[in-house]
A and B are shown apart, each in its own frame.
Chain A
């Protein structure tokens, strides 16, 4: 029960973070959308031009706060992840979530700071930021594909086995699924061809796209089991566990490729982040040099 509550609160927390982002985006679009849709040559004649131009009081604030959020998000996560001294501070997973929130919300504000105008040197920073955000989204997907423990650390092979066994026991022992059914469930998790025979790109393609039909097959599979006869709730529970096992099995099968992709993702995510910050610094330095100091 406590776990359910924790899960609920956690999900609520995640949802709230997204809501904040979405709500802010929606409000800003609603308030200032008429400015953003104008072509570049018409914007100076909008009634809110002075506030909404990138150096205007409102947009400049977006830029400053957005930058602060991004810097905070990057700094917090990187510090927690890379500096051994802070390795015991909280869960890496939570830091990641904060990092994701700050580095989604921050860029959103940056986007409004740009007023959807992406020219000049700082445009490079923006596109770098966009690449970082998009890669972050991809990375987030990749991240969850790699099985992790409750603390967010990667599970070892032994831990994967333990988890796998646990799920098997739940299906077989608690819900009475026979081995044949469980094997069929496992079969759904695996590609038609052995993973070792797949090339890297093929493996990723199979991993992403094959999963899409898997759940439908799983549902069809359960229709004819005795669990179905025991009622909807039982069936849901069993389905959930079976899904977890199927997912885990799939991830285990593609683990190496996933790790490889995740590795490559880092080499994209980090350099562009560096470019982002370098140009950001130049941009801020130039702005301050020429007197654009916001409210100071």
Chain B
């Protein structure tokens, strides 16, 4: 009975336990825990092998049979999964941790976006994840997959495919679209040089695309300057604009290549060596209608259009009418090309020493080329004769002087009241014509009122012995060839003819010196004529 009771109890208990186990088993599963909500459909004994391989734990192939997009990314090595290599899915996505378990533990705030091969820089760093990831091309929601990395997948191509072959990041940064941070016109077929670099983009890229909104950046004709600029030369010049002009400014011509002759004003002589700005442009204050510095010079035919007339119009009355070219060339203003022949055509042909003079001697300043009135020696030279001959010479200074030299005189003393004879000829003029008024402005040599008598220049040594009516006729005895060359004839010019032995007697025997010690003279007359006056009486 006890055994039966015991057996019944055991059976009863076993049935209870089995029921308990069966119910539990029926509700439970052989898995180590519930699957997450994402895989809830795979819960249950019948689905174990959908993820688990027999004898191989978890193999990735089982996961990829459903997660095909992940496999694509792993195969293509793109996205986050493209970087995981040969990791097992289960290493990151663990299961059997309950329905509430998140298979993807993802904190958007700390996620390293660079790990998927697309670092967030610039504005991308500051925007909400959903802003980009809401554009996923995948049908299912709540996924971070399905985006492309090229800009156009999220951003409108405002260039309407003009740069279809290029990446947006070639020009644009991630901080802002405008201005294009990395764009350099250098990389285009038209690098911007000179003033082009400072021009607003819209100035050249004003044209819009077909939609009327997008700016046309490519396909712009830039082969010639005239594609954008009007030709002010109206086709006169056949060569390309760049042969003369540069992008530094229309007014900054290419000096090396520019042929000035084509302008109608060939640069010759010194003009050729000048810098453009010395004649043109801002320095010269030449401006165009727009007020901009201009190279166009309105008047350039006459030298005076550029150069100042230093002659102050003095030469306008000349034969040349004031034309600079009459005397000057483009080789330089100096020296002037005005020759002696040219001077000869003036009122004052250069002769003699005048011709040897430098111009500056007579023309000390550029405005001293023309004289009004009479043009004579005194116009330039001071009358050193103090007017002695001014009124007396009909030809002025030329009466005596020539242009060869002042001292080359046309003057003949024979034409004066005192023709020069004998030793007079050898004398310097100053011997007979002394300077008067020395040290004064009126200093001159006395020519006109010079003495003509012997006493006028010579001292009378005879103490008036031969003076008659206040005049001494020295030439009665003396000649200009020398005082001692006497033309004196004792026999005819005295009252005592020298005869006999008297003829051999020295003059001093009879004509003795007398007078004060400081004023001695030879007594010539009167002398005694009697023998006793000279000879002692002797008695026989």
Contacts of B57 in A (CB 8 A): 290-292
The verdict on A55 contacting chain B, using a C-beta distance below 8 Å, is yes
CB distance from B102 to the nearest CB of A (A): 7
Q: CA–CA, A17 to B25, complex, Å?
A: 35
Stretch at the interface among A164-172, A216-224, A281-289: A281-289
Q: Interface code A263-296, partner B: CB below 8 Å = 1, 0 otherwise?
A: 1101110111011001100110010011110000
Do residues A43 and B55 form an inter-chain contact, with CB atoms below 8 A? no
The verdict on A93 contacting chain B, using a C-beta distance below 8 Å, is no
Contacts of B53 in A (CB 8 A): 290-291
The verdict on A124 contacting chain B, using a C-beta distance below 8 Å, is yes
Q: Interface code B407-450, partner A: CB below 8 Å = 1, 0 otherwise?
A: 00000000000000000000000000000000000000000000
Do residues A120 and B33 form an inter-chain contact, with CB atoms below 8 A? yes
Do residues A120 and B97 form an inter-chain contact, with CB atoms below 8 A? no
Q: CA–CA, A277 to B429, complex, Å?
A: 169
CB distance from B391 to the nearest CB of A (A): 137
Q: CA–CA, A286 to B25, complex, Å?
A: 14
Do residues A44 and B97 form an inter-chain contact, with CB atoms below 8 A? yes
Contacts of B14 in A (CB 8 A): 267, 271, 274
Do residues B30 and A268 form an inter-chain contact, with CB atoms below 8 A? no
The verdict on A154 contacting chain B, using a C-beta distance below 8 Å, is no
Contacts of A275 in B (CB 8 A): 17-18, 20-21
Q: CA–CA, A271 to B25, complex, Å?
A: 16
Pick from A41, A43, A291: contact of B56, CB under 8 Å: A291
Contacts of B55 in A (CB 8 A): 289-291
Do residues B54 and A289 form an inter-chain contact, with CB atoms below 8 A? yes
Q: Considering the complex, which residues of chain B in the window 457-481 have a beta carbon less than 8 Å from any beta carbon of chain A?
A: none
The verdict on B6 contacting chain A, using a C-beta distance below 8 Å, is yes
Q: Interface code B24-39, partner A: CB below 8 Å = 1, 0 otherwise?
A: 1100111111100000
CB distance from B288 to the nearest CB of A (A): 78
Do residues B48 and A120 form an inter-chain contact, with CB atoms below 8 A? no
The verdict on A123 contacting chain B, using a C-beta distance below 8 Å, is yes
Do residues B29 and A291 form an inter-chain contact, with CB atoms below 8 A? no
Interface centre among B10, B29, B30, B32 (most CB of A within 10 A): B32
CB distance from B14 to the nearest CB of A (A): 4
Q: Considering the complex, which residues of chain B in the window 1-50 have a beta carbon less than 8 Å from any beta carbon of chain A?
A: 6, 9-10, 12-14, 16-18, 20-21, 24-25, 28-34, 48
Known: A263-B6, A267-B6, A289-B54. A272 touches B31 (CB 8 A): no
Contacts of B30 in A (CB 8 A): 120-122, 282-283, 286
Query: How many A residues touch the partner, as a band?
Result: 35 or more
Contacts of B54 in A (CB 8 A): 289-291
Pick from B17, B34, B52: contact of A271, CB under 8 Å: B17
Do residues A122 and B32 form an inter-chain contact, with CB atoms below 8 A? yes
Pick from B10, B18, B20, B105: contact of A270, CB under 8 Å: B10
Do residues A279 and B97 form an inter-chain contact, with CB atoms below 8 A? no
Q: Considering the complex, which residues of chain A in the window 90-127 have a beta carbon less than 8 Å from any beta carbon of chain B?
A: 117, 119-124
Contacts of B6 in A (CB 8 A): 263, 267
The verdict on A159 contacting chain B, using a C-beta distance below 8 Å, is no
Known: A40-B33, A117-B33, A289-B54. A271 touches B28 (CB 8 A): no
Known: A120-B29, A290-B48, A290-B57. A40 touches B97 (CB 8 A): yes
CB distance from A171 to the nearest CB of B (A): 36
The verdict on B98 contacting chain A, using a C-beta distance below 8 Å, is yes
Closest to A288 in B: B55
Closest to A269 in B: B13
A/B pair count, beta carbons within 8 Å: 96
Contacts of A40 in B (CB 8 A): 33, 97-98, 100-101
Known: A40-B101, A274-B17. A267 touches B10 (CB 8 A): yes
The verdict on B490 contacting chain A, using a C-beta distance below 8 Å, is no
Do residues A44 and B94 form an inter-chain contact, with CB atoms below 8 A? yes
Contacts of A271 in B (CB 8 A): 10, 13-14, 16-18
CB distance from A42 to the nearest CB of B (A): 9
Contacts of A292 in B (CB 8 A): 57
CB distance from A256 to the nearest CB of B (A): 12
Q: CA–CA, A268 to B15, complex, Å?
A: 11
Contacts of A67 in B (CB 8 A): none
CB distance from A211 to the nearest CB of B (A): 27
Contacts of A136 in B (CB 8 A): none
Do residues B101 and A41 form an inter-chain contact, with CB atoms below 8 A? yes
Do residues A119 and B13 form an inter-chain contact, with CB atoms below 8 A? no
Q: Interface code A252-270, partner B: CB below 8 Å = 1, 0 otherwise?
A: 0000000000011011101
Closest to A131 in B: B17
The verdict on A128 contacting chain B, using a C-beta distance below 8 Å, is yes
Closest to B12 in A: A267
The verdict on A209 contacting chain B, using a C-beta distance below 8 Å, is no
Q: CA–CA, A181 to B26, complex, Å?
A: 62
Q: CA–CA, A270 to B25, complex, Å?
A: 19
Contacts of B9 in A (CB 8 A): 263-264, 267
CB distance from A267 to the nearest CB of B (A): 4
Q: CA–CA, A268 to B14, complex, Å?
A: 8
Contacts of B24 in A (CB 8 A): 121, 123-124
Contacts of A54 in B (CB 8 A): 32
CB distance from B349 to the nearest CB of A (A): 121
CB distance from B418 to the nearest CB of A (A): 147
Interface centre among A123, A266, A267, A292 (most CB of B within 10 A): A267
Contacts of B34 in A (CB 8 A): 119
The verdict on A45 contacting chain B, using a C-beta distance below 8 Å, is yes
Q: CA–CA, A47 to B167, complex, Å?
A: 43
Do residues A279 and B21 form an inter-chain contact, with CB atoms below 8 A? yes
Q: CA–CA, A120 to B28, complex, Å?
A: 5
Q: CA–CA, A44 to B48, complex, Å?
A: 20
Q: Considering the complex, which residues of chain B in the window 147-175 have a beta carbon less than 8 Å from any beta carbon of chain A?
A: none
Closest to B10 in A: A267
Contacts of A55 in B (CB 8 A): 32
Interface centre among A122, A272, A290 (most CB of B within 10 A): A290
Q: Interface code A50-65, partner B: CB below 8 Å = 1, 0 otherwise?
A: 0001110000000000
Contacts of A290 in B (CB 8 A): 48, 52-57
Q: CA–CA, A117 to B31, complex, Å?
A: 12
Contacts of B97 in A (CB 8 A): 40-41, 43-44
Contacts of A120 in B (CB 8 A): 28-33
Q: CA–CA, A49 to B95, complex, Å?
A: 13
Q: CA–CA, A72 to B347, complex, Å?
A: 154
CB distance from A25 to the nearest CB of B (A): 22
Closest to A278 in B: B21
Known: A119-B34, A267-B10, A291-B53. A41 touches B100 (CB 8 A): yes
Do residues B17 and A124 form an inter-chain contact, with CB atoms below 8 A? no
Known: A271-B17, A274-B14, A289-B54. A41 touches B98 (CB 8 A): yes
Pick from B12, B18, B98, B105: contact of A45, CB under 8 Å: B105
Q: CA–CA, A45 to B102, complex, Å?
A: 11
Closest to A285 in B: B30
CB distance from B88 to the nearest CB of A (A): 12
Closest to B34 in A: A119
Q: List 28 A-B contacts (CB under 8 A).
A: A40-B33, A40-B97, A41-B100, A41-B102, A44-B94, A119-B32, A119-B98, A120-B28, A120-B30, A122-B30, A124-B21, A124-B25, A263-B6, A263-B9, A267-B9, A271-B17, A272-B17, A275-B18, A275-B20, A275-B21, A278-B21, A282-B30, A286-B30, A290-B55, A290-B56, A290-B57, A291-B53, A291-B55
**Smallest CB-CB A-B distances: 5 pairs:** A271-B17, A291-B57, A44-B94, A267-B13, A124-B24
- Known interface pairs A124-B25, A267-B6; 9 further A-B residue pairs with C-beta atoms within 8 A, sorted by A's residue number: A44-B101, A117-B33, A119-B28, A120-B30, A122-B30, A275-B18, A279-B21, A290-B52, A291-B56
